[in-house]
Structures are given as structure tokens and as C-alpha cells.
Structure 1
Amino acid sequence: MSGPVYFVACKNMKKVDREVVLSDPNYDETSYVATEPSAACPSMTEGMDEGALYQFDESNWYRVADRWWAFVDWIVKLSNLVGLDGDLPEQDSTVAFRDIIRYGSNGCGTFGPVVSKKLAEDFALWDERARDLGDEDFYYYFGMFRHMFDMAAEGGACWLQSW
């Protein structure tokens, strides 16, 4: 995990009635996303069927960190913002940013439309407090994540594309 960390967000997904075969030469990752569940965050994919393929009409890539460790450091700061002091929230916790904080510990899975909408709301509610920290670097990526989940909240999803 030594390269930049990229996420993709899409909106306006529609389930496609065909089997997910990522090695299929007709599979176009710029138009399709397959649901990838996460054991650490089982609620992440809510609003998507497990193992299903979805087509979307718009997406955007987000470079959220230069290295995986920088992404994890940002997640720890996000955890500190909501009073977790770097600890992972329980899966059934209602703490803000629960799913993205839990995601940072394993880095796999698809954020479905339900969780994306919840995270977009969390980012909007916590924006002023994040800005008030005075950490320009943290707030820059906070804004990027907010934009990413705002997009996915429109019937879409987010997922880790590469690191």
C-alpha cells in the first residue's frame, strides 16, 4: 500500500440484471460498480444487493491521501473530532462517521446509498467544528470527503479504487 489513495463516488445507480464478472472485457469500471460487502462494516452496503452489479451515469475520482498511512492518520483525526480518541466505534454505535472510521481499519467494501446519505449529513453537521480545529490539511480532506458523500447520497455509492 504505497501509492496514492483514491476513492470513486457515483450517483444515480440502477441495478443491472447480469452477473458480476470483473474480468469480463465488457466490464467497464467507469460505468459499473459491484457491491463489495465489508465484514468490519456490514451496514455499509445498505441500499444495495450483495454481489449485485449497478450501472451509474456519473462518477468522480477523489485522491484522498498520498499514502495509506496518511489516510489512516486522517481517519484517526476524524475519530478524535467526534470524541473517540482514535478508537473504533462499535458496529451498532450511532456516533457520527461510524462507517468511515470503521472502514479505515480494513479498507474494503462499498459505501451504499443509505450510508452515503448518512455520512453526507454527518459531514454537513460537523463542518464548522472541523474548520474550527484550525488544521488546514485535515479540513481540506474533510471537504473532499463531504463532496464525495454528497455525490453518492444522490442514489449512488463510494468505494476505494486504488492505493
Structure 2
Amino acid sequence: MKKFEGELPEEIRSEEKCVSASSNPDCPNITNGMEAGATYVFEEDNWYRVADKWWEYVDWVVKLSNLVGLNGDMPEQNSNVAFRDLFRYGNHAGIIGPVACKKLAEDFFLWDNWARALDDRYFYKMFRLMRRMFEFGAEDGAVWLRSC
């Protein structure tokens, strides 16, 4: 992913090969590693279908919250709780920058055994998918969440 300088060609915009970094007041760290308002063009992309319905994702996030002991409560912005930025992200659409991706990838790695121990196949399948997604974005990239 590279910051684009100048006028963005229409073919890049129409092929969805770019994203604009915008801040999220509920989670100001989410785009760290990216300049607010800047446009980034990515050289490689990968699609991850996280859930077919928004409530499936919300239910999964609640289970993740329970796993780390939050029980559905919102962590403070300055807390060190695992998956903090994912919980605080809230709107389920937009950009998660490389710094947050790296931290989330580390959290998924560290919590893998506990997630597997829940013995919930659907939860763990999505857990592994989310882990791969954030690992992909952690190396000089980002994750672009959106609803289709």
C-alpha cells in the first residue's frame, strides 16, 4: 500500500484499488500508520467474507468480548485489553491501518488457544479468518471493512 500523490486516475478509483484514511472519534488509533485524509493505492488485495449478516458479526464480537473478560463492555481507549481497537471500532465500515492490524494480528495469535478451547466451531472458524485478515494487513497494508 502506498500513499498516492496528485490526481487519482479514474481507472484506479473505479477498480476499487484505493482507500482514503479517515479518523474514527471512537477509536482514534485505528488508522495509525496512515495520514488522515490521504489516499492510498494498494498493489495487492484479498477478500475476506466475514459474515453474511451484520448481526452474525455482532454476535461474534460479543463472544470475543466475553472471551477476553469484557462481557460486552466497551474498553477504554487507553486500555491494553486484547482486541481493543476491534471492540471500539464500532461502525463496521472503514479503514484499519497497519499499526492496528499488527496489534490485532498479535492478539489473535496470543488468544488462539483460548478461542479454540471454547469448542465453538463457528466462532473459531471466524476467529481464524479474522486472524488471517489482520495478518495480511499488518505488513505495510491495511484492512478495509465494508458492508456489501
Pairwise TM-score range, normalised by the shorter structure: over 0.9
Pick the structure with more strand per residue.
1
Contact 1:40 1:106 in 2 (8 A): no
TM-score, L = length of structure 1: 0.84
2:112 matched residue in structure 1: 127
| Higher mean C-alpha displacement, 33-42 vs 118-127 | 33-42
Distance 1:91 1:29 in 2: 35
1:14 matched residue in structure 2: 2
Q: Does the alignment pair 1:142 with 2:130? A: no
Give the secondary-structure state (helix, strand or coil) at the position aligned to 2:144: strand
| Higher mean C-alpha displacement, 27-36 vs 116-125 | 27-36
1:31-70 counterparts in 2 under 5 A?
A: 31-70=17-56
Distance 2:95 2:26 in 1: 12
1:103-118 counterparts in 2 under 5 A?
A: 103=89, 105-118=90-103
Distance 1:161 1:108 in 2: 4
Give the secondary-structure state (helix, strand or coil) at the position aligned to 2:139: coil
Question: Which has the bigger relative contact order, CA under 8 A and spacing at least 6?
Answer: 1
1:154 matched residue in structure 2: 139
Deviation beyond 6 Å, 4+ runs, structure 1: none
TM-score, L = length of structure 2: 0.93
Distance 1:39 1:136 in 2: 34
Structure 1 unaligned residues grouped into runs of 5+: 1-12
Distance 2:71 2:48 in 1: 26
In structure 2, the CA distance between the partners of 1:20 and 1:34, relative to structure 1 (3 Å rule), is farther
Structure 2 unaligned residues grouped into runs of 5+: none
Contact 1:44 1:109 in 2 (8 A): no
Distance 1:20 1:87 in 2: 41
Number of corresponding residues: 148
Distance 1:48 1:111 in 2: 9
Please report the RMSD computed on the Cα atoms of aligned residues, expressed in angstroms: 1.7
